[in-house]
Structure 1
Amino acid sequence: MSQLSFFSADLTPPRVEDLGGLLAANGQISRSADGARLSILLPDEWRAKTLLREFRVRDVEAEYLPAAEALSIGLLTEEGTTTGVLLRSSRTHELDALAREWTRGAVKSVPSALVAAAGLMRCWTLAAGRHDEAGYLLGLDRHAVDTWEPLASACARAGLAGALIGPRGGGPALRIVGHRRHARLVELLGTPPPEAPKTAFPLPEH
C-alpha cells in the first residue's frame, strides 16, 4: 500500500492562495471597494461541485449556475456561451491578496515567485485537468498567453516539467508525460474527489 506524501493536498492545510489554480486555468478575478471576486466558466458540473468544496474549506463562499442562465441575467458576456457552468465566489476582501498577486493592472499575470504547491495544483486540475492520448493535460487560459510560460516554469520547479501545446494541438494546455512526472502529479493532488470521472483525474499507475 502506498503512503501519502507529506506534500499531498490531502495533508497540507488549505490556503486561499491555492485558489490561484483557477487562475492558472481560465479563471478571472476582479477587484472593487467591496473586495475581490473569483469566477470561472467550467465545462462540467462535477468540476463546479468539487471546486465549490475547495472554496468553502478556505472560508470563501461561492455559488454556481448553468452558463445559459448566467448569460441571460448578465453574469456572462461572451457571445455564444450557452453550455457549461459558471462558478463564482462572493465578493470578499479574503481574495484581495490573491487578486493583487495575479494581476498587473487589469491583466492576469502569474506571480513571479509562484510555487506549484499541492493545493494550487489540485484546484488547477479540478478546473481544467484531463487525459489525452499522450499524457495528462492541465488546461491554460487561451486569453492570457503570457501566463503559459511562467506556469510551465513553476511546474518544472515542482518536478512537473511539461510541454506547452497550443489550441491546434488540443490546448492550450501543459502536457505532463512520463511515469515519474505522472506519479509526482498524483502524489501532489491527493485523493480524487468522488464526483470526478476516472478519465478526468490522474490516478496511480498499476
Structure 2
Amino acid sequence: MSQLSFFSAESVPPAVADLTGILAAPGQIAVAGHGGEPAARLSVVVDRLWRAEALAELIAEAGLQVEIARTDEDTPLVRTAMDTRLVAMAREWTRGAVKTVPPRWLPGPRELRAWTLASGRPDSDRYLLGLDPHAPDTHSPLASAMMRVGIAPTLIGTRGTHPALRISGRRRLSRLVENVGEPPEGAEALAHWPRI
C-alpha cells in the first residue's frame, strides 16, 4: 500500500484552473458569445477511451458539464459545455487564435494529473508528457514551467507530430509520480501511468 503524498493531486481540492493541464497537452479552448455574455469551451482529443473517461471525471469534479464524443476519425473527444467560468482561462491561454502559455503559469498536482491523463506515456525508463504539435510556441515555456516546479524535462520531437517533454532520472520521476497521484482504474491506465 503506497502512502499518499501531501503534494499529490488527490490532496488538492478541485478547481476550474486544474484544467489548464489539458491546455499544456494538445487541448484547445475557444470563446464564443453565449446568451449575451462570452463563454468558452475546453476540448481535447485523446488516443484512448480510459483517458477520456478519467478527464471527464476530473472536469466534472471541477464543477463543469462535460461530454465524451468521437471525432470524424473515431477517436475520443472530451469537451466541456460552453461556460462563462472558462473565459478567464481562454484569455490567459490565447493571443488572438493562437494558444500561448501564461508567463507565471506553474503546473500544480492537479494540472499535472490533467496533463498526464491527456497525453502522458512511458518511454522505457523515462516518461513523456505530450505537447500540442499545432502550438510550437508553447513548448519551451512549458518546459520552463516544469523546471520551476522541480521537474526539469528535455524537449523532444519538436519537428515531428509527437512533441513531448521527456522526464528522466529517479528524482524527477519521483516528483512527477508524487504529484499526479494514483492511476485511474484499469490495466491500460496503469500501463500508461508514470512510475519510478
What secondary structure is seen at the aligned counterpart in 2 of 1:175? strand
2:33 equivalent to 1:33: yes
> 1:102-125 deviations in whole A, cap 9, x for unaligned?
111211100110011001000000
Change (3 A) 1:167 1:152: closer
Q: Does 1:48 align with 2:52?
A: yes
**Structure 2: gaps of 5 or more residues:** none
TM-score normalised by the chain length of structure 1 = 0.88
In 2, Cα distance between the equivalents of 1:150 and 1:55? Answer: 24
Q: Tell me if structure 2 keeps the 8 A contact 1:110–1:151.
A: yes
Change (3 A) 1:111 1:157: same
Instruction: State the superposition RMSD in angstroms.
Output: 1.6
Q: Number of paired residues?
A: 191
1:59 pairs with one of 63, 66, 84 = 63
CA contact (8 A) 2:184 2:190 kept: no
**Aligned runs of 1:156-195 on 2, under 5 Å?**
156-166=147-157, 171-195=162-186
* Cα distance in 2, alignment partners of residues 6 and 28 from structure 1: 30
Cα deviation, residue 6, structure 1: 1.9
Correspondence 1:63-74 to 2 at 5 A: 63-68=67-72
Q: Letter of the aligned partner of 1:148 in structure 2?
A: H
Q: Distance in 2 between matches of 1:134 and 1:194?
A: 22
Amino acid at match of 2:190: K
What is the one-letter code of the residue matched to 1:56? A
In 1: Cα distance, 2:86 partner to 2:161 partner: 32
- TM-score, with structure 2 as normaliser: 0.92
